[in-house]
Amino acid sequence: QGFEIHLGNSSKHSNVKSAFRLEMDSASFDDNKTSFEDGAVSEDSIVWGTYLHGLFDSSVFRKQFLGNFTSEDIATTSETLAVDIAERDKNYNALAEHFKQSLDLTSIRL
């Protein structure tokens, strides 16, 4: 179970795979469409994007979805995430240091 929230129209390149094909009751749409594609998947299938919310609230869906990835995929993703977090933290610290050097913090009241 999930629900969709977004405003406006999104588009993707024709060579990009959709993440999901949604089937709906025709009464849900003004134009009586009963199915449509949602989201996008990267070429390597590691990155998924969607307007659907609440999908991972269901442990059944979560286990089935994550079961599509091998332990090697998960390990690689975890390693990449750790590197990304370290790089992000390094950049935030550099930015904070730049602000400390550039601003007269004693003049700023909080």
Band of pLDDT at residue 26, cut at 50, 70 and 90: low
pTM greater than 0.85: no
Sign (positive or negative) of CA dihedral 19, 34, 2, 5 = positive
Q: Measured between alpha carbons, how far is 15 from 50 in angstroms, rounded to an integer?
A: 17
DSSP sequence for 37-80: EE-EE-TTS--EE-SEESGGGSHHHHHHHHTTS-HHHHHHHHHH
In the predicted model, what is the mean pLDDT of residues 47-67?
Answer: 79
In the predicted model, what is the mean pLDDT of residues 47-51?
Answer: 85
* Token pair belonging to 11: 């588009």
State the average pLDDT for the chain.
Answer: 77
Position 27 pLDDT exceeds 70: no
Position 78 pLDDT exceeds 70: no
